[in-house]
Structure 1
Amino acid sequence: MKRSFGLAFALFVCTFTFAQQALWGGTSIVSPEIHENNTVTFRLKAPKAVKVQVTGDFLPTQKIKTPFGDFDGPGAADLIEKDGTWEYTTPQPLKPELYSYTFLVDGLKMNDPNNVYMIRDVVSVTNVFIIGGGRADLYKVNKVPHGTVSRVWYNSPTLGMDRRLTVYTPAGYETSGKNYPVFYLLHGMGGDEEAWIALGRTAQILDNLIAQGKAKPMIVVMTNGNASQEAAPGESSLGFVSPNMQLPKTMEGSFEMAFPDVVKFIDKNYRTIKRKQARAIAGLSMGGFHSMHISKQFPDMFNYVGLFSAAIMPDNNVKSPVYADLEGKLKAQFAQNPALYWIAIGKTDFLYKANEDFRKLMDDKGYKYMYYETDEGHIWKNWRIYLTEFSPLLFK
């Protein structure tokens, strides 16, 4: 009897151990390993590989040519192999920041199998890690009151479809009974209503800034700026379609003209302060383009406007009343004295010249705005910075 029990117990232990290995991957490799001095070690077990590299935004940037211009892209560093495990340690401590990376194994891109934390940026899926300290602590989940993030469907009569929003409500919204100002936050080309919440760390940033008393409690609405889409790839009736940078109806006026549908839905379904003084709009790249043109198309709607690395004008072939009479619409907008018009861009951004020309127009007309310039280019590192700088200026 004892022997049978012992055999059964041994079988159970073997089965349980196998299940645990299947569940947890059966590996003891730590990657990335963040050391006390903020150097970081990356490891990959690949005994048959010939060459392994790590590429990420913690490495010196390199220029990548695309149909949309020259972008700053991450460099690459070689890992050294020992007993089938490849390893690379950054030669210098990394500055506080949210970083992304992937491996290149004999030229084939792959994610780190020892790091479960990943983010999608259009068609790229990368691993991520955070070096804490300074501004990067705003990107962390800290022990502060937390807001709620919801995925909400609304009907757009203008576009003739149901569409999805991501909505952040601040801590205490559900029980306070108060009405709140609303910040509409727009993504860039190829992005969707998931971009700011995942890559931009919006919920973490707002939770932390509000808890520190640096930002007013506010509702943040993150839209899908692709007017032909119901929702992010994989989240609509189209199923698991591939993300695409070249979507129709993005920068030809449809999204701008349909934006009042969003505002009406939010004002009807959330406890908002329903006036211009309590509304802000901002966005990155294409979202900055949308923010600029929506705010001048509807000058009674927004009192705070933010252009983050914004595209300024559409392609010459685009004909829409939204983009007509730029100077006349800006004149009408600034005649109402917006509380804040905020322009930010990186020194090496491919849109720097367009923003410089736009600021010259603003200067020539005597329109008041705030300007914020950073290093580097058209990257999420800058857009997170801009969000942390812009949000505390709202609704004062």
Structure 2
Amino acid sequence: MQYKYEMPSEMLTEISEKGTLETFEYESKTYNDQEIKPLHKKARVYLPYGYDKEKKYDVLYLLHGGGFMQEWWFDMFPDTATILDNMIAKGLCKPVIVVAPTFYHDEESKNTHDEAICENFRTELRKDLIPGIESHYSTYTCGDVSEENLIRTRNHRAFAGLSLGSMTTYRAAFYNNFDLFSYYGPFSGCCGPFGNHDQEVKRICETLEKGHESGYDLDFMFCANGDKDIAFEEHKEIMERALAASPYLKKDENYDFFIIPGGVHDMKAWQLHMYHALQIFFTKEQ
């Protein structure tokens, strides 16, 4: 694919073939907290134009960054749906369900900066969110959300996120649920400014190696950052080291790192990352 450094203007023009947005509600818990509490959670869901319960759809789980919740991608930035509408209408990606959840427990927790929440999201993701979404909507699970079938259908599931959501892409989806996803989009960062680069490289390599040994290979990891983004240097350095160290990470085959010249830590860049990621995700023959 030939990358673009600005969103094509036609992607931002509203068309008649619009997808629909819904709020999906589900029950979860504050896993990994000292006191486990029941939670009532919400996710925003984009359904492609012409969504048909008789068809099967791939699913992209798309996460926000710090201090925001499920409203970020579609309610605060409605043109995200317009971009998806145009991509699908023009055949740039297959019709796809996009789920915008939150790793925060509630409105109160979003005001507390706790990076542990990134990794703690792994249990809710596996036990509550994915089974809830994929038993309700028409996906490749065909309503069977047993762990065995979720693993079997991992090639039809992707996870991406921006900023703190990029860290969550590594920690909750990649390191801890590699058997449930085969496509990843970390947009802006891996471990943050105070993270341990050696540890992250080790975890990336171990995840890929153990996954391969278990029969779960990576279909694609699409890393992305602007070169003026505050998260750029740590993200780039970690992934360059992982690429050199792991035989299971191969540039242009199952991995790339897209860089926007002059790009910063903002929604303009993240929407462009999503635009490119969806042209790569779900394209391999299964």
Provide the C-alpha distance between the structure 2 equivalents of 1:136 and 1:194, rounded to a whole number of angstroms: 24
| Pairwise CA distance, 1:164 | 0.5
| Pairwise CA distance, 1:266 | 0.9
Q: Does the Cα contact within 8 Å between 1:296 and 1:333 map onto a contact in 2? A: no
Candidates 61, 70, 74, aligned match of 1:184: 61
Deviations 1:119-162 (A, max 9, x none): xxxxxxxxxxxxxxx6133123223x111101121111464211
Provide the C-alpha distance between the structure 2 equivalents of 1:150 and 1:176, rounded to a whole number of angstroms: 15
Question: TM-score w.r.t. structure 2 length?
Answer: 0.77
Q: Which amino acid aligns with 2:19?
A: G
Q: Does the Cα contact within 8 Å between 2:192 and 2:231 map onto a contact in 1? A: no
Cα separation, partners in 2 of 1:324 and 1:307, compared to 1, 3 Å = same
Unaligned 5+ segments in structure 1 are 1-95, 98-133, 234-240
Unaligned 5+ segments in structure 2 are 32-37, 142-152
Candidates 92, 112, 120, aligned match of 1:246: 112
Cα separation, partners in 2 of 1:345 and 1:316, compared to 1, 3 Å = closer
Deviations 1:27-64 (A, max 9, x none): xxxxxxxxxxxxxxxxxxxxxxxxxxxxxxxxxxxxxx
State the match for 1:257 in structure 2.
123
Provide the C-alpha distance between the structure 1 equivalents of 2:112 and 2:195, rounded to a whole number of angstroms: 17
| Pairwise CA distance, 1:333 | 3.6
1:203 is aligned to 2:203: no
1:136 is aligned to 2:9: yes
Cα separation, partners in 2 of 1:252 and 1:214, compared to 1, 3 Å = closer
Q: Which is worse superposed, 348-357 or 210-219?
A: 348-357
| Pairwise CA distance, 1:201 | 2.8
Candidates 200, 206, 229, aligned match of 1:328: 206
Q: Does the Cα contact within 8 Å between 1:225 and 1:250 map onto a contact in 2? A: no
1:302 is aligned to 2:213: no
Q: Which amino acid aligns with 2:13?
A: K
SS of aligned partner of 2:175: helix
Percent identity over the alignment is: 27
State the match for 2:102 in structure 1.
224
Cα separation, partners in 2 of 1:206 and 1:254, compared to 1, 3 Å = same
State the match for 2:259 in structure 1.
373
Q: Does the Cα contact within 8 Å between 1:288 and 1:306 map onto a contact in 2? A: yes
SS of aligned partner of 2:92: coil
Provide the C-alpha distance between the structure 2 equivalents of 1:304 and 1:254, rounded to a whole number of angstroms: 20
Cα separation, partners in 2 of 1:247 and 1:164, compared to 1, 3 Å = farther
Cα separation, partners in 2 of 1:140 and 1:192, compared to 1, 3 Å = farther
Provide the C-alpha distance between the structure 2 equivalents of 1:340 and 1:389, rounded to a whole number of angstroms: 12
Candidates 305, 311, 318, aligned match of 2:190: 311
Aligned residues: 247
The structure whose RCO (Cα within 8 Å, separation 6+) is larger is 2
Cα separation, partners in 2 of 1:345 and 1:200, compared to 1, 3 Å = farther
| Pairwise CA distance, 1:358 | 1.4
SS of aligned partner of 2:139: coil
Q: Does the Cα contact within 8 Å between 2:193 and 2:234 map onto a contact in 1? A: no
Cα separation, partners in 2 of 1:339 and 1:316, compared to 1, 3 Å = closer
State the match for 1:172 in structure 2.
50
Task: Tell which structure's C-alpha radius of gyration is larger.
Answer: 1
Q: Does the Cα contact within 8 Å between 2:158 and 2:183 map onto a contact in 1? A: yes
Cα separation, partners in 2 of 1:200 and 1:388, compared to 1, 3 Å = farther
Provide the C-alpha distance between the structure 2 equivalents of 1:334 and 1:184, rounded to a whole number of angstroms: 23
Cα separation, partners in 2 of 1:199 and 1:334, compared to 1, 3 Å = farther
| Pairwise CA distance, 1:200 | 6.7
The structure carrying a bigger strand percent of its residues is: 1
Q: Does the Cα contact within 8 Å between 2:174 and 2:207 map onto a contact in 1? A: no
Provide the C-alpha distance between the structure 2 equivalents of 1:363 and 1:327, rounded to a whole number of angstroms: 9
Cα separation, partners in 2 of 1:287 and 1:200, compared to 1, 3 Å = farther
Q: Which amino acid aligns with 1:142?
A: I
1:161 is aligned to 2:39: yes
Deviations 1:302-361 (A, max 9, x none): 1110111123268569xxxx9995542342245532111111101111111111221122
State the match for 1:337 in structure 2.
217
Cα separation, partners in 2 of 1:191 and 1:140, compared to 1, 3 Å = farther
State the match for 1:146 in structure 2.
18
Question: TM-score w.r.t. structure 1 length?
Answer: 0.57
Deviations 1:179-232 (A, max 9, x none): 211110011111210111132732111111000011101110001121x31xxx
Q: Which amino acid aligns with 1:306?
A: G
Give the 5 Å matches for 1:59-74.
none
Q: Which amino acid aligns with 1:191?
A: F
1:272 is aligned to 2:139: yes
Cα separation, partners in 2 of 1:334 and 1:190, compared to 1, 3 Å = farther
The structure carrying a bigger helix percent of its residues is: 2
